[in-house]
Structure 1
Amino acid sequence: MPAVQHMKWYGWGVEGVSFHHEDKPALRPFVQEIIDLDLDTPPGRQVQLSDLDIPAPMIGDELLAELRGVVGEENLVSEDEDRVVHTYGKSIRDLMRLRGGDLPRVPDVVVYPADEDEV
């Protein structure tokens, strides 16, 4: 697999990096006033990737072979987490869909072309 730092499937940013508001005293009252969200409210149970009903890839062998021929085996990824990360964008609406398990169509494979010629 290519050296790509993957984004979280369930939120913004990369795994291992998080945002904390405790050292930003003006943020909590600002968020409370503007969007009526209390940052001190404990979060609910976080949905796990294993909680999602991820459909099996449906890609045909012929197309998969063609993709391998263009980008190489190492630049094709079909792991569930990679596929879910690329199901939607990263808007609030998209994240809520993911967290709610709304996965009407998940990519069969994620392709990482090495350069423009492979696109």
Structure 2
Amino acid sequence: MVETQREQSGSATVAPNMVWDAWGVAAGHQPLSAQIRGLLAQVFGISGEPVARRDEHDVPLIPTTLTAADRSGLAGIVGDEHLTTADIDRLRHAGGKSTPDLLRRRASTPQDAPDAVVFPADHPQVLALLKYCAEHGIAVVPFGGGTSVVGGVDPVRGQFATVIALDLRRLDTLTEVDPASGTATLGAGLTGPQAEELLGAHGLSLGHFPQSFEFASIGGFAATRSSGQASAGYGRFDDMVERLVIATPQGTLD
């Protein structure tokens, strides 16, 4: 769809932060039942009792390598309040939710993490950030809901000294909707529930419900050609996409 003047602000539903060392949010965690603990003891010879969890503020990270000059340059694009090098924010962007990801986070040695997390507000800011990072040799990892289980949001710096996570949660708007054709223009940072909330106000549903639905983002659905439990009825997500407007280091790809 052609993006027109913003029709509606972001969703009233705030996208939750998943816990750093597991799937989901802390309020949703439940202890194992006695039946499951008994099965674990019988099959694996382990108690199934919960182990003490490390506080996220006590996880050692490799120190940030973001220079003062680059921090100033990036903050000049998004505002200082939308850039962070705090360890707690870096930890929450240190990778996805695969079993190797979660096991790796139990290590006692300093862990790798992005050197900074940046929160752009719109497409022009994403363009400006990518241009700056390309010119200054900074690796960029787009970050939606953080649900990847294939390394898609790992802070891989490669040959670069610095890597940042580009958190897209502020790109959370429904900018256009056409109930007649059943098309809508959605921000890349919208989560599944947020998209359903905004579309539901128009009597519509996205109709895409993978297992990661609660936390994954529209941009993540598109980038991974997502499929899910409802794919047989609505198709894979790439079958649902009519048009993409993408920010690249060389400019806008439409």
Is TM > 0.5 for Structure 1 vs Structure 2? yes
Counterpart residue identity of residue 10, structure 1: D
What's the CA shift string for 1:16-49, capped at 9, x where partnerless? Answer: 3324665xx8xx49x96xxx679x7112221222
Distance 1:4 1:66 in 2: 28
After the TM superposition, which residues 11-22 of structure 1 pair with which residues of structure 2 at under 5 Å, given as runs? 11-19=22-30, 22=33
Aligned residues: 109
1:102 CA displacement: 5.5
| Partners of 2:20 and 2:92 within 8 A in 1 | yes
Residue 73 (structure 2) pairs with residue 66 (structure 1): yes
Residue 53 (structure 2) pairs with residue 46 (structure 1): yes
Counterpart selection for 2:84 from 59, 77, 90? 77
Q: For CA contacts below 8 A with separation 6 or more, give which structure has more relative contact order.
A: 1
Paired residue secondary structure (2:61): coil
| Partners of 1:9 and 1:81 within 8 A in 2 | no
Distance 1:76 1:63 in 2: 11
Partner of 2:93: 86
Counterpart selection for 2:116 from 109, 112, 119? 109
Distance 2:81 2:26 in 1: 22
Paired residue secondary structure (2:27): coil
1:62 CA displacement: 1.3
Structure with larger Rg: 2
Paired residue secondary structure (1:16): helix
| Partners of 1:68 and 1:76 within 8 A in 2 | yes
Residue 20 (structure 2) pairs with residue 9 (structure 1): yes
Decide whether aligned partners of structure 1 residues 77 and 14 sit closer, same or farther in structure 2, where only a CA change above 3 A counts.
farther
Partner of 2:174: none
Long gaps (5+) in structure 1? none
Decide whether aligned partners of structure 1 residues 12 and 4 sit closer, same or farther in structure 2, where only a CA change above 3 A counts.
same
C-alpha RMSD of the superposition: 2.8
Distance 1:8 1:79 in 2: 16
Q: TM-score, normalised by structure 2?
A: 0.37
Long gaps (5+) in structure 2? 1-13, 127-254
